[in-house]
Amino acid sequence: MAWLAVVIVLGLGGTVLIAYLVAKREYELEELSEEVPEKPRRRIEPPKVRKCVVLQSAFVGISLALLFTGKLPREAGIAVIVFTQLFLLALTVLFSRPLVFQLAPNFKGKMALGFARALTVVSAVITLWLFLIVTGYEPGRSKQSFSRSFPSVQCSTPSLSPS
């Protein structure tokens, strides 16, 4: 399982390195070209994703509180899911910056706002899923057995350790 994390980190690191090198080369080419007439630059307005960032921060806070108070089972998979929410929050902040619009001219502010909203929905679903784990809800159980087992914290998620 550790090799998968290494592959993911190397893939993300390689992608960031390649993007940096391409952006640096384009910047240097633009700096060296003298014959290009100066055209008026359009003002890049970043999208207003503040509400999405605040909501995602709240969802991350709830999830981290559930994880660190011990209400969630101590499993690696659940911790990875919680920290994935932090990654989604970072993506939301990153894609709302004008730098992204300069590197990808076809990427519009409306698309960034839709992307931020979609990531907020994913973060909300993750938080709901973690809350259902804490309450012990299992699909297929009757409503009465769910209400009786609400005080106890039972989790039926599979364990990551080999049996």
For residue 62, what pLDDT band results from cuts at 50, 70 and 90?
very high
The pTM (predicted TM-score) of the whole model is 0.57
Q: Highest mean pLDDT range out of 71-75, 103-107, 144-148?
A: 71-75
Q: For position 125, what pLDDT does the model report?
A: 92
Averaged pLDDT of the chain: 76
Mean pLDDT of 115-120: 88
- Tell me: the pLDDT tens digits for 78-90? 888 888 999 988 8
Judge whether residue 57 has pLDDT over 90. yes
Lowest mean pLDDT among 22-26, 40-44, 59-63, 143-147: 143-147
> Does the pLDDT at position 38 exceed 80?
no
d(CA 21, CA 163): 46
Of 23-32, 37-46, 128-137, 145-154, the poorest mean pLDDT is in 145-154
Q: Which stretch of 10-19, 27-36, 75-84 has the lowest confidence by average pLDDT?
A: 27-36
Rounded to an integer, the average pLDDT of 107-130 is 84
